[in-house]
Structure 1
């Protein structure tokens, strides 16, 4: 599978899970930070979609990997905590947040590099 298709698939899954998480948070499990998890997923689904279509963008694979890992860790921790009433593992959410921040810095650095033909 090509990189842009894999990133696009990740965008679609993050978007769908983000909407579902927001719906569950609004109607079934309130007060469990599911709105935060859903918003992180939706915002980064859009960013992943942009990366999937950024032809010639340097470091887009690394940026996408950091976004996906960050979403899995950060939102996954909040969703897991709401569903199981315990943490995924110590420091999962902060590790995910750091991965998301590094992903955005990677996008910034990649935009400064010469574009590939």
Structure 2
């Protein structure tokens, strides 16, 4: 299976989860950082969609993996805290933030590498 399909699937799931998280944060569970979690998911859904269609991007798979892992840990921890009143696991949100930063750095490095034919 080509890399664009699972990355595109991840983009769609992250986008849907982002919208749902923002809606729950606006209407049901307020003051729980769900706006931050939803925003992270939506921003990275767009980035994943771009990666899914970035032909020749050398580090596309690594960037996508870091984005997905980062979204799961960062937003997942905020959502879990809002619903369960406890952390997903110790340092989940900061670890997710680091993964997201590394994903963006992989995008930057990949842009500097020669394109594949």
Which of the five TM-score ranges fits, normalised by the shorter chain?
over 0.9
- What RMSD, in angstroms, separates the aligned Cα atoms of the two structures? 0.4
Contiguous gaps of at least 5 residues in structure 2: none
2:58 and 2:112 mapped to 1: Cα distance? 9
Cα distance in 2 between the residues matched to 1:2 and 1:20: 28
Give 3-state SS (helix, strand or coil) of 1:10's partner: helix
Q: Report 1:1-117 matches (<5 A).
A: 1-117=1-117
Q: TM-score, normalised by structure 1?
A: 0.99
Q: Which runs of 5+ in 1 are unaligned?
A: none
Residue deviations 1:17-50 (CA, integer Å, cap 9, x gap)? 0000000000000000000000000000000000
Q: Distance in 2 between matches of 1:6 and 1:89?
A: 26
CA distance in 1, matches of 2:76, 2:52: 22
Residue 2 of structure 1 deviates from its aligned partner by 2.1
Equivalent pairs, count: 117
- Deviation sequence 1:53-95 (CA, Å, 0-9, x none): 0000110000000000000000000000001000111100000
SS in 1 for 2:83: helix
> Structure 1 stretches (4+) deviating beyond 6 angstroms?
none
